[in-house]
Structure formats: C-alpha cells, structure tokens
Structure 1
Amino acid sequence: MQNEVQVLNSEAKDIDVIFDFYDMAIEHQKKVFNKHWQGFSREMVTTEIAENRQYKILVDGQVAAIFAVTFDDELIWKERDQDSIYIHRIVTHPDFRGYSFVKQIVEWAKKYAAENDLQYIRMDTWADNEKLLKYYTGCGFDFAGTVSLTKTEGLPKHYEGISLNLFEIKV
C-alpha cells in the first residue's frame, strides 16, 4: 500500500515538533560532520510559520520532515538574489530516512515556483561537505559556486565565518 505524503504549511502548534527536529538534526550533524547548526530563535521560526514559510511533510499523518523557505537571501546569494525560492533547514526524522524527501521538496518547489513566477530553486550548505554536494546534485541541483560570507547579521549563528556551496535549479 502506498503511503500518503503531504507537504503542508506548519502551524503555530507545530513549533515544539519543529524544535525537536532541529535538536535531532544537530545531534546527527555532530556524529557525521565537523560542523553543526548552533540552534535557532523561536522568534525566527514563529515568524516563518506566520508568513507561511515553514513546512512539514506528513507521511500517513505523521510529521516525517520539515523545511523552511525564504524569497530573498542577499547575504548568501549577493547580486544573484532574485526571482527565487530558497530552501533551508531540511530535517528528516530518523524513522523516515530513505524517503527521498529532498527530491519531493524539489518537485513541490518547482510547482510553487511556476505558480509564483520564480525562476530558481536554491539551496546552500557548508562548502566542505562533499557528501551533501553529491547528494544535492543527485537531486537535480546544479552546483552554482562557493561563497565566503562576510556579513551574517540576521542569519543563524552557524553562518559566521564559513564558506558555502550554492545549488540551484532553473525552473
């Protein structure tokens, strides 16, 4: 029997689940890589929920993954920051690894971009994370270069002093 998979906006009542997912992700990052997220402000996530930019993926009604989007990312994409949906903080619950949620998010984002006259789907990750570079290009993203961040005000703490690999899909 096929599992029912839905991509839905997160709601205010989901905030504790979202932070549980972030905690799981940080623990996983500490095990598999030399960098990890430094946590996120509840205010930022509350704003994302209120602006319909925080999403959950349900499998048979259970939260299996979360992600956030934004529509401007000038500190990261600089002069290329235009006509894009930017995907951030994808977290899959360990019980649902292997479901290829990034590919499902890409399909969702392609539809969203087409409906909203956006030209690109974009993402970033740490520049020295070869595993994610291969994974994201395997999900259909083109490698779009590496940037070193000089200004990080307004970004989560883990962006300080790092270089990022950039990825995009032209819609």
Structure 2
Amino acid sequence: MRIIPAQPNDVAKLLAFREEAAAWLTRLGIDQWQRPYPADRLLATIKADTVFMVMDGDETVATITLTPEAEEGLWTEAELNEPSRFINKLTVARTHAGQNIGGRLLDWAGDRAYREGAKWLRLDAWTANEALQRYYLQQGFEYVRTVREGGAVNGGPRVSGWLAQRRTVAADHGFEDSTPDIIR
C-alpha cells in the first residue's frame, strides 16, 4: 500500500468515501458526519496539499488530512505556539477495517510531522463518539480536554471538541510514501 497526495479530481471520490463512513456511523447509532461536507472546502484542502490517500493498487482504502493549522477555538495560545500538526477526517474503507491501516496512518502522520519539525500530533474528535476517543487513546494519544462551546455555527455547541495529542516520532509505518519530500 502506498500514500499519495489527493488531487483535485479526487473530490467526488473522497466525498463518496466520507458518505460511506457516515452511513456506517449511523448504523452504529453515532450522529457523526451527518451533514454533507462542502466540496469547495475539500477542494481547498486538497489544493493546500494537506489531504492524503492510502492506495491498495488502484483502490483508495483510507484518507487523512494533515495540516499545520488548527481549527479555531480549540487550542490555547500557548499550545498553538508549540510546533504541531493537526489531523482530521481520518477514514478507512469498511472493506479494509480491522487491518490497522488507521493506526499505521497515524504513525505515518506522526512521522511526517516529526520530519517537519513538529513536536505534537494533535486532533479533535467527535464529542459523543466514545469508541473513537478510546481508539485514539489506544493509539498513544493523551486526552487534553473537551471544548463544548464555540462551534462553527453562530458560536453554538461544538460537536467535535474532544482534544488529544501525542508526541511526534520517527516511525516505520510500512507504507510506500509517494508524497512530496518535506521542506522545512
């Protein structure tokens, strides 16, 4: 399996990928990702070179966004002053679930962040998805806090404010990394 950067022509594929994940979460009784993700927002993150895909042959089996920018209102000023990378939208195809692709992808993100000079790999997770929170803790992340206010819509309740982090380290993730070399 190899990791490649997403391209603008991958928008429809990645939106469908997210819809598949949302349907699976609904079957589990979790309300995460029920609103359609805006295509223009996804395209902007792809053009910013922050969206990556795991390929098994020609099949996309996972995706992750790794960015130097945090979502507004989650991290303190002191935390934002520490060199960090932020992950979101980590998704693994149901056809490849249970193969530790997500764990390996987190290791890849931590390795890439480490090579970029970041100290922390940080994330925010759905506040009501306790299984996802346990997963991240099992992957070596430490719980920081839960931010419940200041959501994107009129400053209302935040649905993705469970914060966690882990130190970045060089890691052998086992993927063929076909992403651009890191420039500091």
TM-score by length of 1: 0.86
1:8 aligns with 2:7: no
Question: Number of residues paired by the alignment?
Answer: 163
The aligned residue for residue 57 of structure 1 is: 54
Q: 2:13 aligned with 1:17, yes or no?
A: yes
Runs (4+) off by over 4 Å: none
Of Structure 1 and Structure 2, the greater helix share is in 1
Which of the pair is proportionally richer in strand?
1
Give per-residue Cα distances to partners, 1:92-148, cap 9 Å, x unaligned. 111111121221122211221122111110111122322111111111111111111
Query: 8 Å contact 2:152–2:158 — kept in the other structure?
Result: no
Percent identical among aligned pairs is: 18
RMSD: 2.0
- The secondary structure found in structure 2 opposite 1:133 is helix
2:44 to 36, 41, 47: 47
> Normalised by the size of structure 2, how large is the TM-score?
0.80
- The 5 Å alignment of 1:104-123 reads 104-123=104-123
**Structure 1 residues 12-60: Cα deviation after superposition (integer angstroms, max 9, x where no partner):** 1211110110110111121113422112111111111111111101123
Q: CA deviation at 1:160?
A: 5.3
The one of the two structures with greater contact order (alpha-carbon pairs below 8 A, sep at least 6) is 2
Match of 1:76 among 71, 74, 79: 74
Letter in 1 for 2:23: E
Structure 1: give runs of 5+ residues left out of the alignment: none
Cα distance in 2, alignment partners of residues 149 and 118 from structure 1: 27
* Partner Cα distance (1:30, 1:81) in 2: 33
Name 1:145's counterpart in structure 2: 145
